[in-house]
Amino acid sequence: MTAQSVAGPIEIGSRAPDFELRDQNNQVVRLSDLRDRDVLIVFFPLAFTGTCEGELGFLRDNLPRFDNDYVTVVAVSVGPPPTHKVWSSAQGFLFPILADFWPHGAVADAYGVFDVERGFPNRGTFVVGRDGTVKFSAMVGPGEQRGDETWDAALAVVGH
């Protein structure tokens, strides 16, 4: 049994764990520095995989829905920044893709979505409000894809 299957994703109303991770350009991104808008945090298992590429491609293709005056988006996985740089450049991902590389999966674990048996996060989706509390929380396994209902439900709480 994995640690995440016992705890599950952190609950709505909880204080969101702050983090400091490097993006695909090796720039430090802190959750606490993004408080001017709600933050959509999208955990994904691994770069260069079909489902992950499709989901992040959906964000890219609909970026004005996910990055505007009310919300900004960050994606998080366990790969290192150089891997994320190559992948994001090839795919045209302009939003931050954060490396939860070391300590390996620590941020995903703090959010309750790290799969310790596989060594990567499940597909966790969170909205963190300007006050630092979780406004939306959902998770599906690595073989499942987030549907439109997940994106719509996450965006429904933005700005409220």
In 11-105, which residue ranges form alpha helices assigned H by DSSP? 50-61, 63-66, 81-91
Cα gap 34→24, rounded to integer Å: 17
Q: Per the residue annotation, which of 52, 59, 113, 127 is the catalytic one? A: 52
Cα gap 1→99, rounded to integer Å: 25
CB contact set of 60 (below 8 Å; sequence gap of 6+): 91, 92, 93, 94, 95
52 is a catalytic site residue: yes
Is residue 128 within 8 A of residue 61, CB to CB? The reply is no
* Phi, psi for residue 157 in degrees, rounded to 5: -95, -5
- Residues designated catalytic: 52
